[in-house]
Chains A and B, each alone.
Chain A
Amino acid sequence: MQEYFHSVRLDTDKCKGCVNCIKRCPTEAIRIRGGKAQIIESRCIDCGECIRRCPNHAKTAFTDNLQDLANYRWNIALPAPALYSQFNYEVSIEQILEALLSLGFDEVFEVALAAEYVSSQIHDYLENNTGNRPYISSACPAVVRLIQVKFPELIDHIIPVDSPAALAGRIAKCQSSARLGIPPEQIGVWFITPCPAKVTAVKQPVDMEISYINGAIGIAEIYGELLKNIGQNANNVKRTATYKGVGWALAGGETKATGRDSTLSAHGIQSVNDILEQVVLGKLNDIEYLECQACAGGCIGGPLMVQNRFVAEKNMKKRLEFIKNQGLNDDKEAQINYDPAEYALVKQKIEPRSILRLDSDIVKAMQKMELIEKTLARLPGLDCGSCGSPSCKALAEDIVQGHASETDCVFKLRERVKALAEEMVDLAQKLPPSLNKENEEGFYDRR
Chain B
Amino acid sequence: MTNEQTLKMEFTLKSMDFNLAGEASSKIKQVLQRIGISSAVIRRIAIGTYEAEMNAIIHAVNGKMTVEVSKDKTEVTVVDEGPGIHDVDMAMTEGYSTAPDHIREMGFGAGMGLPNMARCSDVFSIKSEYGVGTEIYMIFNH
Residues of A within 8 Å of B40, CB to CB, are 153
Q: How far is the CB of A261 from chain B (nearest CB, A)?
A: 18
By a CB distance below 8 angstroms, the chain B residues around A277 are 26
Structural contact, B35 and A369, CB atoms closer than 8 A: yes
As a 0/1 sequence over residues 46 to 64 of chain B, the CB contacts with chain A under 8 angstroms (1 = contact) are: 1100100000000000000
B residues within 8 A CB of A366? Answer: 5-7, 35, 69, 71
Q: For the complex formed, measure the closest distance between the CB of B38 and the CB atoms of chain A, giving whole angstroms.
A: 9
A180 at the interface (CB under 8 A from B): no
Given contacts A356-B33, A357-B34, A369-B34, contact A362 B71 (CB under 8 A): yes
Q: Find B46's partner among A152, A280, A369, A370 (CB 8 Å cutoff).
A: A280
Tell me which residues across on chain A come within 8 A of B69, comparing CB atoms.
Answer: 366
Q: Does residue A354 face the partner (Cβ distance < 8 Å to B)?
A: yes
A435 interface residue, CB < 8 Å from B? no
The residue in chain A whose Cβ has the minimal distance to the Cβ of B107 is A283
**Pair B35/A362 contact, Cβ less than 8 Å:** yes
Q: How many A-B residue pairs have CB under 8 A?
A: 58
Please tell me if B126 contacts chain A, counting CB pairs below 8 Å.
no
Interface size class of B (residues with CB under 8 A): 20 to 34
Name the residue among B7, B37, B39, B69 with the largest chain A CB count within 10 angstroms: B39
**Docked complex Cα distance between A360 and B34 (Å):** 10
Which A254-296 residues have a C-beta within 8 angstroms of B?
A: 277, 280-283
User: Are A357 and B1 CB-contacts (below 8 A) given A153-B40, A281-B47, A370-B7?
Assistant: no
CB proximity to B under 8 Å, residues A364-417: 365-370
Q: Are B39 and A363 in contact (CB under 8 A)?
A: no
Given the interface pairs A359-B36, A362-B37, A367-B5, the reply to whether A280 lies near B43 with Cβ below 8 Å is yes
**Does B114 lie at the interface of the complex (its beta carbon under 8 Å from any beta carbon of A)?**
no
With A and B bound together, what is the CA distance between A340 and B34 in angstroms? 42
Taking a contact as CB atoms under 8 Å apart, the answer to whether A153 and B37 are in contact is no
Within 8 A of A (CB), among B18-49: 22, 25-26, 29-31, 33-37, 39-40, 42-43, 46-47
How many Å lie between the Cα of A277 and that of B22 in the bound state?
A: 10
Q: Which residues from B are CB-within-8-Å of A283?
A: 107
Asked whether A352 is an interface residue with its Cβ less than 8 Å from the other chain, the reply is yes
B7 A281 Cβ-Cβ under 8 A: no
Asked whether, in the complex, the Cβ of A352 is within 8 Å of the Cβ of B1, the reply is no
Q: How far is the CB of B112 from chain A (nearest CB, A)?
A: 9
Given the complex, which residues of B lie within 8 Å of A357, measured CB to CB?
33-36
The answer for the CA separation of A277 and B116 in the assembled complex, in Å, is 18
Chain B residue at minimum C-beta to C-beta distance from A283: B107
Given contacts A352-B39, A369-B35, contact A363 B25 (CB under 8 A): no
The reply to whether A281 and B34 contact each other, CB–CB distance below 8 Å, is no
B33 to chain A, nearest CB (A): 4
> Smallest CB–CB gap between A429 and chain B, Å?
44
Query: Which residue from chain B places its CB closest to the CB of A363 in the assembled complex?
Result: B5
Which listed residue, B25, B35, B116, touches A358 by the CB 8 Å rule?
B35
The answer to whether A281 touches B35, judged by C-beta atoms less than 8 angstroms apart, is no
Q: Do A363 and B36 touch across chains, with their CB atoms under 8 A apart? A: no
Most chain B Cβ neighbours within 10 Å, of A282, A354, A357, A358? A282
> What chain A residues lie within 8 Å of B7 (beta carbons)?
366, 369-370
* Chain B neighbourhood of A363, CB < 8 A: 1, 3, 5, 71
Contact (Cβ within 8 A) B71 A152: no
How close is B18's CB to chain A, nearest CB, in angstroms?
14
Known contacts A356-B34, A357-B34, A366-B7: A281-B25 contact under CB 8 Å: yes
Q: In whole angstroms, what is the CA distance A277 to B30 when docked? A: 11
Q: Complex: how many Å from CA A434 to CA B25? A: 66
Whole-angstrom CA separation of A363 from B69 in the bound complex: 10
Contact between chains at A354 and B6 (CB < 8 Å): no
- Whether A362 touches B36, Cβ cut-off 8 Å, given contacts A369-B31, A370-B7, is yes
Residues in B with CB closer than 8 Å to A359 are 36
The answer for the CA separation of A359 and B47 in the assembled complex, in Å, is 25
| Complex: A282 Cα to B50 Cα, angstroms | 10
CB neighbours of A356 from chain B (8 A): 30, 33-34
Kindly identify, within residues 151 to 168 of chain A, every residue whose CB is under 8 Å from any CB belonging to chain B: 152-153
Nearest Cβ in chain A — how far from B8, in angstroms?
A: 9
What is the distance, in angstroms, from B72's C-beta to the closest C-beta of chain A? 8
Tell me, in angstroms, the Cα distance from A152 to B36 when the chains sit together.
12
In the bound complex, what is the Cα–Cα distance between A277 and B25 (angstroms)? 11
In the bound complex, what is the Cα–Cα distance between A283 and B26 (angstroms)? 13
Which residues does chain B contribute within 8 Å of A152, judged by CB atoms?
Answer: 39
Q: How far is the CA of A213 from the CA of B69 in the complex (A)?
A: 47
Which of chain A's residues have a CB closer than 8 A to the CB of B34?
356-358, 365, 368-369
Residues on B with beta carbons closer than 8 Å to the beta carbon of A352: 39
18 A-B pairs whose Cβ atoms sit less than 8 Å apart in the complex = A153-B40, A153-B42, A153-B43, A280-B43, A281-B25, A281-B50, A282-B47, A352-B39, A354-B39, A356-B30, A357-B33, A357-B35, A359-B36, A360-B36, A362-B35, A362-B37, A363-B1, A366-B7
Q: Which residues of A contact B (CB under 8 A)?
A: 152-153, 277, 280-283, 352, 354, 356-360, 362-363, 365-370
Beyond known contacts A281-B46, A366-B69: 11 more, CB 8 A cutoff: A281-B25, A281-B50, A282-B47, A357-B33, A358-B35, A362-B35, A362-B71, A363-B1, A363-B5, A366-B71, A369-B35
Ranked nearest first, the 4 interchain pairs of A and B with the lowest CB-CB distance are A153-B39, A356-B33, A357-B36, A365-B35
